[in-house]
């Protein structure tokens, strides 16, 4: 640690409006490593800790303090004499690694206290928001090890997060093998934390934003404006008590790429002539949007619907008309649309693209032809995430940086709104500390309702997409019973 502290240079990182879009959320992941060879020196604690602080030298932002400057503007301040050191905890479990493996790594099999932070970004024990938290849990008889790592979205998205874990692993391998050349190469890898690179990369052209996006970000929302006015610590404390995960259920599925590819081909046969080629994840997003919309409909119309809920729905229908759309929010990475791939940008690059999808499309009986109509919608959303649209979106955020809390309020007041993020390109399984890659990687259970994540398959295999689905429990029950989905996906837990 002393080496890290000595390396710190006083500096400030003014965060971009993109960084605040999910600033109230953490990026928390668990990495499960098996000691398959029963090695006595399996992932030694000293090497893990030493290489951790070495990796931190490349990510000094993770030891900074948040300085709130009002109206949604925040800066990370790194000062050698006032470092906000990451939380780094170590413990041992009486459980064997095989017990978790037998349970397919379901969270009920995890050691107690494995996750040291939750989904919401809030202050730690010293009253400050920690920008990096780590818990190293060694399993019984050194049979394996679990790493829990979490960063708030203030400082990184999945790209920066998994790049840090990968660097930590590389430096640990180098330390254990006394490989100075490997360590030097890893420490030379260019990393960009300068948020100004986003604005420098914007095209001159602009496209008008769609009305649905403008409605989410610019509509009247006094509660959102009040939340934006609060300090990050106060806001985090309030949101942590809001119980976003109440009555929420999460399940993880595996979808074989071969089966998804076959479905894509059947859907493609029904796409309009001249439509660009569709990709697997566009079809998968469309399928899930349809499945969830139909589950919500069954909840509204089923015998389990409460009398009060039915009355409210009837009154709302009289006042506003029956709902005709479901909002769909697909997260796209601006690194692609702004051509930032070669810059190794470590800040947040995810931008939500919103569309109101007709229920007439989403509630149609599932089949290749109806799925093609829904895939037209998801493909159009992703296609709209080009440079001129991103530039217009960022212009809007710059003009009113306090609007970052509005999507959260919108989602919390629209129970059918659905968020889908495609993380299949993230390097979940690249963290090799010298004893192989993790056997399984996953986030915390019951994250927030109406959130869908597409993840890569485990190390050594590219034959599947892992899908995390988190919904309110009544909605999830209908999803689990959906025959079309059960034919395509295999439940993990």
Per-residue pLDDT of the chain (493 residues), as tens digits, is 889 999 999 999 999 999 988 888 999 999 999 999 999 999 999 999 999 999 999 999 999 999 988 777 899 999 999 999 999 999 999 999 999 999 999 999 999 999 999 999 999 888 999 999 999 999 999 999 999 999 999 899 999 999 999 999 999 999 999 999 999 999 999 999 999 999 999 999 999 998 888 889 988 889 999 999 888 999 999 988 876 667 889 999 999 999 999 999 999 999 999 898 999 999 999 999 999 999 999 998 877 555 444 444 444 443 334 579 999 999 989 998 998 878 899 999 998 888 899 999 999 999 999 999 999 999 999 988 899 999 999 999 999 888 999 998 998 888 899 999 999 989 999 999 999 999 999 999 866 789 999 999 997 778 899 999 999 999 999 999 999 999 999 999 9
Quick count: other Cβ atoms within 10 Å of Cβ 319? Answer: 7
- Give the Å distances, CA to CA, from 98 to 13, 36, 115, 312: 43, 10, 19, 50
Q: Please identify which residue in the block is written with the tokens 């301040």.
A: 77
Instruction: Give the C-alpha separation, 385 to 355, whole Å.
Output: 12
pTM score, whole prediction: 0.93
Contact at 8 Å (CB) between 189 and 167? Answer: yes
275 closest CA partner among 378, 389, 137: 378
Quick count: other Cβ atoms within 10 Å of Cβ 238? Answer: 15
- Give the Å distances, CA to CA, from 398 to 71, 75, 208, 353: 11, 15, 16, 17
Contact at 8 Å (CB) between 49 and 88? Answer: yes
Instruction: Give the C-alpha separation, 342 to 312, whole Å.
Output: 52
At residue 322, the pLDDT reads 52
Q: Please identify which residue in the block is written with the tokens 């629209």.
A: 414
Quick count: other Cβ atoms within 10 Å of Cβ 351? Answer: 19
Contact at 8 Å (CB) between 85 and 133? Answer: no
Q: Which two tokens stand for residue 278?
A: 């569709």
Question: Phi/psi zone of residue 40: left (φ > 0), alpha (ψ -120 to 50 degrees), beta?
Answer: alpha
Task: Tell me which residues are annotated as active site.
Answer: 153, 432
CA 38 to chain centroid: 34
- Give the Å distances, CA to CA, from 445 to 269, 317, 321, 325, 359: 38, 35, 36, 29, 29
Q: Which domains are present in the chain?
A: 2-199 (3.30.559.10), 201-491 (3.30.559.10)
At residue 319, the pLDDT reads 39
245 closest CA partner among 409, 413, 419, 448: 448
Instruction: Give the C-alpha separation, 490 to 30, whole Å.
Output: 21
């Amino acid at each position: 640690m002393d080496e890290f502290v000595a390396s710190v240079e006083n500096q400030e990182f003014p965060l971009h409006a993109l960084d605040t879009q999910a600033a109230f959320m953490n990026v928390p992941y668990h990495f499960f490593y098996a000691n398959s060879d029963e090695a006595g020196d399996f992932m030694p604690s000293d090497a893990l800790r030493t290489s951790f602080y070495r990796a931190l030298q490349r990510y000094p932002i993770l030891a900074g303090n948040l300085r709130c400057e009002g109206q949604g503007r925040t800066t990370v301040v790194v000062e050698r004499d006032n470092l906000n050191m990451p939380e780094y905890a170590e413990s041992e479990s009486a459980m064997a690694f095989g017990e978790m493996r037998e349970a397919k790594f379901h969270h009920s099999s995890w050691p107690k206290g494995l996750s040291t932070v939750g989904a919401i970004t809030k202050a730690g024990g010293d009253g400050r928001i920690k920008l990096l938290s780590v818990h190293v849990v060694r399993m019984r008889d050194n049979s394996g090890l679990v790493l829990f790592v979490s960063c708030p979205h203030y400082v990184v998205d999945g790209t920066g997060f998994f790049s840090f874990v990968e660097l930590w692993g590389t430096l640990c391998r180098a330390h254990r093998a006394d490989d100075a050349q490997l360590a030097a190469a890893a420490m030379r890898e260019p990393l960009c934390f300068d948020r100004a690179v986003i604005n420098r990369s914007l095209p001159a052209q602009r496209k008008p934003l769609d009305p649905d996006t403008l409605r989410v970000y610019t509509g009247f929302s006094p509660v959102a404006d009040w939340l934006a006015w609060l300090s990050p610590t106060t806001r985090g404390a309030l949101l942590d008590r809001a119980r976003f995960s109440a009555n929420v259920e999460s399940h993880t599925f595996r979808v074989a790429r071969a089966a998804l590819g076959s479905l894509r081909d059947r859907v493609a046969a029904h796409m309009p002539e001249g439509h660009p080629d569709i990709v697997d994840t566009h079809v998968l997003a469309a399928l899930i949007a349809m499945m969830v919309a139909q589950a919500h409909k069954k909840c509204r119309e089923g015998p389990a619907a409460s009398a009060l809920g039915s009355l409210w729905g009837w009154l709302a229908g009289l006042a506003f008309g029956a709902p005709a759309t479901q909002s769909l929010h697909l997260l796209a990475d601006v690194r692609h649309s702004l051509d930032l791939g070669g810059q190794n940008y470590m800040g947040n690059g995810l931008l939500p693209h919103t569309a109101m999808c007709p229920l007439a499309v989403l509630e149609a009986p599932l089949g290749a032809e109806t799925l093609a109509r829904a895939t037209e919608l998801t493909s159009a959303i992703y296609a709209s995430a080009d440079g001129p649209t991103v530039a217009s979106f960022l212009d809007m955020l710059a003009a009113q940086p306090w609007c970052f809390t509005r999507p959260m309020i919108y989602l919390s007041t629209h129970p059918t709104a659905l968020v889908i993020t495609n993380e299949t390109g993230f390097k979940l399984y690249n963290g090799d500390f010298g004893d192989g890659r993790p056997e399984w990687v996953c986030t915390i259970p019951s994250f927030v309702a109406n959130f869908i994540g597409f993840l890569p398959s485990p190390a050594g295999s590219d034959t599947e997409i892992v899908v995390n689905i988190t919904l309110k429990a009544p909605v999830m029950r209908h999803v689990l019973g959906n025959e079309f989905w059960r034919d395509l996906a295999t439940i993990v837990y």
